[in-house]
Every structure is written in C-alpha cells, then in structure tokens.
Amino acid sequence: MSYNSNKEFSYLVLIDFVFNRRVTMKYTLEQRLDIGRRIYEGELTRFQAAEEYGINDNTARNYMWLYRDTNHLPPKNVGRKRTTYVSKTPQTIEAKQPDFESYEAMTKEELIQALIQARITEARLKKGYEVKGDGSVIHYSSKNIK
C-alpha cells in the first residue's frame, strides 16, 4: 500500500464518519461500567476520565450514569454548592438591652454617635437583618422578609 492510497483510505474513513455518523464503541460494557464506577466513587472526575480514556467528558458522565442506574444507586450531589442568602432555619434576632452605666460615662458626641447607631440597628431589624462587627457578617430573619 503506497502513501497515496493510505491517505485516500483515511480520507474515505473520515467521509464515512462525517456523513454516516457511525462510530464503533471503544469500550465494552464491562469497561464502561468500570469507568463509571471510578467516577461515581470519586477516584476520578469525569474530566480526568475523559483525558485518561480518550473520550468526551459527557460520555464519561454517561458511563457514570450507566453504572449508577445498573446498580440502582442514588445520585450523588458532588456538583458545585449554591450559596443561599437566607438561612433555612430562621434565627430570631433579639435587640440588645442598653447598658446605662456606659451611657453615663459618654460625652455628648459619643452619645450622638450611639443614638445614630441605635437608630440604624433598629431600621435594620425592621427590615429583617442584623449586622455584626464591621458589617461583614449579616444575619437574616425570615419572619420579616416580604
């Protein structure tokens, strides 16, 4: 077989693949189940399996689904975790009782600042959240949220 005929043969195989979309399976059922088991049990990610076995990452995911469905296993939630802004268990927010001794020792400017801060806290509590510290921690209460 000459170089030219080998080139023509590979071209014909490519044309047959493009137009007929027939692809032979690379792996047997047992091999696909083994790949799926490794992904399901966390030995490999589907992307690592795709690179290792020379398959598409969606094919690797399908192998994992095949393994899971064949063995009647529950789906695993290994995907990315979504952040929720409102707590599922509502936390009650209680207003802090003022310490009158600390107010007696304050100057007029400090009392004005404390009053402003108290009004801000009161408005936040009415809206359903409380800010702690420098404002990086926010606790939401679900009973006041509309």
- 1-60 pLDDT tens trace: 444 555 555 555 555 555 555 555 689 999 999 999 999 999 999 999 999 999 999 999
In a domain, 76, yes or no: no
Tell me: the pLDDT tens digits for 93-120?
565 666 778 888 889 999 999 889 888 8
The answer to whether position 123 is within a domain reads yes
Considering the domain boundaries, does residue 87 fall inside one? yes
Both 47 and 96 in one domain: the answer is no
Range of the domain at 124: 83-146
Determine, yes or no, domain membership for 77: no
Both 43 and 90 in one domain: the answer is no
Looking at the structure, do residues 139 and 102 belong to the same domain, yes or no?
yes
Q: Of 39, 70, 101, which residue is a domain's last?
A: 70
Residue 55 in any domain: the answer is yes
Query: Same domain, yes or no, for 88 and 146?
Result: yes
Asked if residues 127 and 75 have their Cβ atoms less than 8 Å apart, the reply is no
User: Using CA atoms, how far apart are residues 129 and 138, in angstroms rounded to an integer?
Assistant: 7
User: Exposed/middle/buried for 35, CB within 10 Å: 0-12, 13-18, 19+?
Assistant: buried
50 pairs with which residues across the strands? none
Residue 119 within a domain: yes
Residue 127 falls within a domain, yes or no?
yes
Q: Does the predicted model carry a pTM greater than 0.85? A: no
The total domain count for the chain is 2
